[in-house]
Amino acid sequence: MLDRRALFPAFTGLGAAAASLFSGKAAKAGTQPNFAVGFAGDVEPRGTDDRLERLPTLDLESQQDFLTGFRSWGGSGFRRIAGKRTQALFEAKGLDPNDDPSLETVLDILGDDPVMGANVRTWVSNQLLTWKTIQDYVHANADTYLAEMEATDNIGPGTLELNPDVPLPDHVKHEIHIMPGGYVGDPLGGHVYHYGTNNFYGGGNFQDEVHIDLASKIAVPEDGKVLRILDVGCTTGQMTVALKERFPNAEIWGIDAGGPMLRYGHMRAVDLGVDVNFAQRLAEDTKFPDGFFDVVTSYILYHEMPAEISRQSVTEAHRILRPGGVFFPIDFYTGSNVVTKQAHLKFRRWWDHRWNDEVWFQEYDGFDMPKAMREAGFAVNEEGPAAWIGNKNLLATKLS
């Protein structure tokens, strides 16, 4: 019999502080084998809260609740303090922090400041601990969770297509958001990603509220015909499922390079009884026929890819859309990069790139998405519907 644990790669440590803070709790959690098994092998040790399966132990839930609250404080209260500190340090130099200072100037003024450093350190430590506490538990109970996914790999509703032999480009192998194993390297990465990103939303996405809202904003062709939709870079499929709920008569596909993300997403869709299709494919080489889709969309994908891959994926979206079909990628300021003119946010983007493994964020800052869309053959509306933190989004239509 295959030892499922042999699937796991070796992981590097997260640092002494991150490893020790919750070490006693994690060890205790990993020794609790009393799972309540639902239909078709579904593992729900503490039941569900509507569409969210509760975390398997009260210890783990409490840890995540604390970390979510701490992250919210760091992103609001401490962030305001850092913003005021930026203002004071720039004014002391006779400079305006909102007048598009160079990154070199920003780092020279803010880089060694202890207040700014503490703001970064608290955020990064929270991120590390968020991933670690979840990963420790699911890895300690790996056989149970792998068996749960195996039970749904070949059943519906919906389908799952895994292509373990597909050559993975280097950019998909990075541990984006410093998530150990990234999207492709940890067989239980889908579990870690789903519950870890609940922390990102400050507790406001337990019922997929963000993804449901995004799905409600997806633009459709002028003729109203929506038979097929593709969600590119779908990770665990939360928006993919939400798209099916908005368009129940459409054929919905979600693709991602990360097999662990897709396995978890398919398992969750089966559990929710939602008929969607997941496939392990690349954004720049989807393998779909020409003109296959009415809508191609994505959510916070392009800032996590090199600019050249982004250009290729825009061209690919044009190929697989039918005439009149729409391309509606949702990401940070896809219509404008004005946000990066502020010193505090420029510094934040830099350390997100440097310490949070957002390898291509700075490259994305300089990427001209409207130009790439036009070069691919799209007609571009730079004032498309607001669907991400209040920003206008680019809406591209494939011409006949």
Mean pLDDT by 10 residues, the chain (400 residues): 46 37 37 44 91 96 96 91 96 96 96 96 96 98 96 95 93 95 97 96 94 96 98 98 98 98 97 96 98 97 95 98 97 62 90 92 88 96 83 89
Give dist(CA 107, CA 348) in Å, integer.
11
Question: What stretches of the chain adopt beta strand conformation (E)?
Answer: 48-49, 52-53, 159-161, 228-232, 251-256, 277-280, 293-299, 321-330, 378-388, 391-398
Look at the alpha carbons of 99, 100, 106, 108 in this order and tell me if their dihedral is positive or negative.
Answer: negative
The pLDDT assigned to 240 comes to 98
User: CB of 393 within 8 A of CB of 330?
Assistant: yes
Map out the domains of the chain with their CATH numbers.
Answer: 51-400 (3.40.50.150)
The pLDDT assigned to 128 comes to 97
Tell me the CA end-to-end span of the chain in Å, nearest whole number.
55
Q: For residue 249, count other CB atoms closer than 10 A to its CB.
A: 7
The pLDDT assigned to 383 comes to 87
What is the value of pTM for the model shown? 0.89
The pLDDT assigned to 40 comes to 59
Helix (H) or strand (E) holding 17: helix 16-21
Cα radius of gyration rounded to whole Å, the chain: 22
DSSP 9: P
Give dist(CA 265, CA 276) in Å, integer.
10
The pLDDT assigned to 15 comes to 36
The pLDDT assigned to 339 comes to 55
- The amino acid that residue 200 corresponds to is F
Please name the residue ranges forming H helices in 93-235.
Answer: 103-110, 114-140, 142-150, 189-200, 209-217
Whats the size of the chain, residue-wise? 400
Residues 6 or more apart whose CB falls under 8 angstroms from that of 28 comprise: 59
Give dist(CA 17, CA 30) in Å, integer.
20
- The amino acid that residue 264 corresponds to is Y
User: CB of 230 within 8 A of CB of 295?
Assistant: yes
Q: For residue 212, count other CB atoms closer than 10 A to its CB.
A: 18
Distances (CA, A) of 202 to 45, 54, 159, 197, 356: 24, 16, 31, 9, 18
The pLDDT assigned to 308 comes to 96
Which residues partner with 279 through β-bridges?
Answer: 161, 255
- The amino acid that residue 126 corresponds to is N
- Between vectors from CA 4 to CA 160 and to CA 167, what angle results, nearest 5°? 50
The answer for 300, left when phi > 0, alpha when psi is -120 to 50, beta otherwise, is left
SS3 229: strand
Tokens describing residue 322 = 């039918």
The pLDDT assigned to 23 comes to 38
Give dist(CA 70, CA 160) in Å, integer.
37
Helix (H) or strand (E) holding 378: strand 378-388
Distances (CA, A) of 86 to 109, 120, 346, 365: 8, 13, 11, 21
> Which residue do the tokens 């420029």 mark?
346
Give dist(CA 265, CA 160) in Å, integer.
9
The pLDDT assigned to 17 comes to 39
Residue 343, Cβ density class (10 Å: 0-12 exposed, 13-18 middle, ≥19 buried): buried
Helix (H) or strand (E) holding 251: strand 251-256
